[in-house]
């Protein structure tokens, strides 16, 4: 019951991330040229154990819902994956087999028919083969009842979504995930499917752009919204502010319908160019455990570097960089204001006997003086001798001895660092 109240299934997080990143730790078996999954879809072999040919399934099993429900051996053959399943007779896909499968029109046509077969079993029908849009079937009420009664079908749907992504039909993933989000969160149908939809179905979508749209849709309709834990709320609010109102439902499927594919990290990129320049308002450089807001950096330093590179790419020509003197001066002025306000609060809270003690000069004002005078030196308005005199004047009173120069440098770097952080993209949680 606790899982239904809006908590993450972290096993699902790891499983779906591994799938979206194409199983980075997977060691493929030595198939010796055998491609059993392709042979099955070419109608050359029967599925095992105690199976039949693909053509028999497509023709004779379409309305035999009891057989589709009770037989647990065919699903691994109809929708193969690169990872093994419970049927050890079904062999995992290999990269060579995937390429051969996608280049075989006969196999791809039967794969779509198999998808339509299983959709009908779940009370859904494929509305558009081009975009993958789906809708309720005429007998959806009885089929939805079966879905609520038999939870193992949630595992089957997850397998179907994964297999669509492996075998070249990524554009079919988002429409099916959106269908189940709408049925569970908007129409309040399929209560036994809601958790799997949020934990698995949405995160099986490899296209990050579509995955964000799905999560935003789920967040808008999830009740109570404050318990939505599948994406950071601040990122969802940013996405909402950038999205035009009243988007048509088909907008979710634009990436798939316009000939896009997903890269290794789950990015949706055009086939002509694998790494296009991102939208200035895009949060693709941010990190989230959901795998939604960007690829995961290997270290905090790499994360900061990615944010800096994104900001540099987004700057217009001739625009001053984040570390320019004017930007640093603005940050320093803000620091000065904060220091003054804090100092006044401290003075007000002091004991009356200590009220006449002189208040130390705020650190922010020293930083402002240092930056202004350094700018004058850089612009050539002061002579070399004057610059040395100013350097001696800038030295903070708290820094004496040989460490004074080092302390001044660290303070300047801290001010610049804060400026860069405030101007960069928002941090991920």
- Please tell me the least confidently modeled range out of 26-30, 83-87, 320-324: 320-324
Residue 346 has pLDDT above 50, yes or no: no
Average pLDDT over residues 182-194: 97
Residue 95 has pLDDT above 60, yes or no: yes
Question: Which pLDDT does position 333 carry in this prediction?
Answer: 55
**3-class secondary structure, 135:** strand
Which residues are CB-contacts of 204 (< 8 A; sequence separation ≥ 6)?
16, 19, 20, 158, 161, 162, 165, 173, 177
Q: How far apart are CA 46 and CA 54, in angstroms?
A: 7
> If you search the block for the tokens 């540099």, which residue do you land on?
312
* Phi-psi region at 190: left, alpha or beta (left = phi > 0; alpha = psi -120 to 50): left
Burial of 401 (C-beta count, 10 Å sphere; 0-12/13-18/19+): exposed
Q: What is the CA radius of gyration of the chain?
A: 30
Q: Where are the beta strands (DSSP E) in 191-285?
A: 260-262, 268-270
Better-predicted residue by pLDDT, 273 or 124: 124
Domain regions of the chain by residue span: 2-295, 322-343+361-396+408-429
Residue 285: CB atoms within 10 Å: 21
Residue 182 has pLDDT above 70, yes or no: yes
**pLDDT, tens only, 348-368:** 433 433 343 444 444 555 555
Which DSSP state fits 334?
H
Which residues are CB-contacts of 352 (< 8 A; sequence separation ≥ 6)?
none
**pLDDT, tens only, 206-258:** 999 999 999 999 999 999 999 999 999 999 998 877 765 545 555 555 545 44
Average pLDDT over residues 153-160: 98
Q: How far apart are CA 315 and CA 104, in angstroms?
A: 46
Q: Would you say the C-alpha torsion 143, 148, 153, 159 has a positive or negative sign?
A: positive
Question: Which pLDDT does position 251 carry in this prediction?
Answer: 52
Q: Give the HSE-up count for residue 263: Cα atoms under 13 Å, Cβ half-sphere.
A: 14
**pLDDT, tens only, 73-84:** 999 999 999 999
| Per-residue confidence band for 292, with pLDDT thresholds at 50, 70 and 90 | low
Averaged pLDDT score across all residues of the chain: 74
- Please tell me the least confidently modeled range out of 93-107, 179-193, 379-393, 398-412: 398-412
| Per-residue confidence band for 29, with pLDDT thresholds at 50, 70 and 90 | confident
């Amino acid at each position: 019951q606790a899982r239904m109240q809006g908590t993450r299934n972290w096993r699902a997080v790891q499983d779906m991330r591994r799938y979206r990143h194409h199983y980075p730790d997977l060691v493929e078996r030595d198939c010796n040229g055998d491609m059993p999954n392709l042979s099955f879809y070419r109608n050359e072999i029967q599925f095992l154990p105690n199976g039949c040919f693909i053509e028999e399934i497509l023709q004779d099993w379409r309305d035999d819902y009891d057989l589709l429900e009770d037989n647990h051996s065919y699903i691994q053959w109809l929708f193969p994956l690169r990872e093994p399943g419970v049927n050890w007779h079904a062999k995992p896909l290999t990269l060579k087999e995937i390429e051969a499968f996608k280049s075989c029109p006969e196999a791809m046509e039967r794969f779509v028919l198999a998808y339509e077969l299983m959709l009908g079993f779940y009370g859904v029908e494929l509305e558009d083969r081009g975009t993958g849009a789906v809708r309720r079937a005429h007998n959806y009420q009885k089929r939805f009842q079966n879905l609520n009664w038999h939870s193992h079908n949630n595992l089957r749907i997850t397998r179907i979504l994964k297999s669509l992504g492996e075998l070249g039909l990524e554009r079919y993933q988002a429409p099916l995930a959106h269908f189940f989000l709408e049925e569970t969160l908007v129409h309040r149908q399929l209560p036994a499917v809601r958790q799997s939809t949020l934990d698995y179905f949405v995160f099986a979508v490899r296209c990050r752009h579509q995955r964000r749209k799905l999560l935003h849709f789920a967040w808008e309709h999830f009740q109570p919204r404050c318990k939505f834990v599948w994406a950071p709320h601040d990122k969802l609010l940013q996405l909402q502010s950038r999205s035009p109102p009243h988007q048509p439902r088909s907008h979710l499927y634009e990436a798939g319908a316009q000939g896009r594919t997903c890269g290794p990290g789950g990015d949706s990129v055009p086939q002509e160019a694998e790494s296009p320049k991102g939208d200035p308002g895009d949060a693709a450089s941010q990190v989230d455990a959901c795998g939604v807001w960007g690829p995961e950096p290997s270290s905090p330093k790499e994360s900061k570097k990615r944010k800096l590179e994104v900001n540099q790419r987004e700057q217009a020509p001739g625009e001053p960089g984040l570390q320019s003197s004017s930007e640093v001066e603005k940050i320093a002025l803000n620091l000065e204001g904060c220091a003054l306000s804090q100092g006044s609060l401290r003075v007000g809270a002091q004991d009356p006997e200590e009220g006449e003690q002189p208040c130390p000069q705020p650190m922010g004002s020293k930083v402002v003086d240092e930056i202004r005078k350094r700018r004058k030196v850089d612009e050539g308005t002061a002579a070399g001798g004057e610059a040395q005199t100013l350097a001696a004047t800038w030295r903070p009173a708290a820094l004496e001895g040989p460490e004074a120069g080092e302390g001044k440098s660290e303070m300047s770097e801290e001010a610049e660092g804060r400026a860069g952080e405030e101007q960069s993209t928002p941090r991920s949680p």
